[in-house]
Structure 1
Amino acid sequence: MNDNHQLLSLNDAARLTSLSRSMINRYRSEGKFPKAVPLGEKRVAFVASEVREWIAEKVALRAAA
């Protein structure tokens, strides 16, 4: 599977980022987290490569400080 199309559930994104689901949702509402892909009425997922890029940006900010 092409990583550009691999999807992560909210729980998987939380595990990968070490953030809680509520913090991810807060960041989403503030435009500070990758946009979700709607999968159904109450189901969303995140593009894995975008979440990994978001993590890399956070690491780069630490390195720049």
Structure 2
Amino acid sequence: MKAELDRSGCIGCSLCTQTCPKVFQMAEDGFAEVYREDVPEEVAAAAVEAQNGCPVSVITVS
């Protein structure tokens, strides 16, 4: 399973980092980023939850 995030559409709400901190983190510019592209099995459900909860739908987990 891989995680992707379109940073150009990110609003910096940090919901994804709160939901799945093992995959997403806030960058120095105030927007989220994927720091672990390969999603660990033990947090796969949280990564999908982050995708589904993103208010601007810029996260893809597949």
Same fold (TM over 0.5): no
Larger radius of gyration: 1
TM-score (norm 1): 0.28
The TM-score with structure 2 as length reference comes to 0.29
Larger relative contact order, structure 1 or 2 (CA cutoff 8 Å, min sep 6): 2
